[in-house]
Structure 1
Amino acid sequence: MTLTPEHTPVFRRGYRMQWEPVQNCHVILYPEGMARLNVSAAAILALVDGKTSLGAIVATLSDRFPGAEGLEEDVLTFFQRAYEQKWVIFHE
């Protein structure tokens, strides 16, 4: 899949992000297990609501982290990996 700023991510059915006190980090929970998230991944995935496009997610992150270079490319690459891990699907 080739992602564009117009794609809108949504967590797959049965997948969700939450704070896990025992792990002391955000995680993705899914039927087969759990994946620990670093701070950057959690900041990105916290913006996934099924309504916000990748372009809008990038814009929000750009406002929060001014001066971050290559942000759009990094976010699109992250979401490509999240798709491959089956965490998210996309609406166009």
Structure 2
Amino acid sequence: MEEHMEAERRLRPEDVVELNPNYHFRWEEPQQAHVLLYPEGIVKLNQTAAAILEACTGAPSIADGTAELSRRYDKRNLGAEVLKFLEVAHAKGWIRVKS
């Protein structure tokens, strides 16, 4: 029940997220892309998705990861876009909120 409740709540900038241990994030040379490998298959990520996952799953919070992306790409106001993507990644089970 608690697991289901967590999936229902929206992510917040102060949340700390990590990759689901069932997924492995890496660069695939033959695909020339970052991918998520999991027991049932592979998800090929576009550059934006890979950058968000990389920045936000290694950061102290989603807000810190977003700030890093803003600096890296010299763009402001990425918060809503980053959260929107992470919501999808969370719903698909690629990431989870660290407790």
Q: What TM-score comes out, normalization by structure 1 length?
A: 0.89
- Percent identity of paired positions between Structure 1 and Structure 2: 36
Kindly tell me the number of residue pairs found equivalent between the two proteins. Answer: 90
| Residue number among 68, 79, 86 corresponding to 1:72 in the alignment | 79
Equivalent of 2:26, from 18, 22, 38? 18
What amino acid is aligned across from residue 93 of structure 2 in structure 1? K
Question: How many Å apart are 1:32 and its aligned residue?
Answer: 1.0
* Partner Cα distance (1:85, 1:43) in 2: 18
C-alpha distance in 1, partners of 2:85/2:75? 19
Question: How far is the alpha carbon of 1:52 from its aligned partner?
Answer: 2.2
* Structure 1 position 44 matched with structure 2 position 52: yes
Which 4+ runs in 1 deviate beyond 2 A? none
More helix by share: 2
Q: Paired residue for 2:98?
A: 91
5+ residue gaps, structure 1:
none
1:58 aligns with 2:66: yes
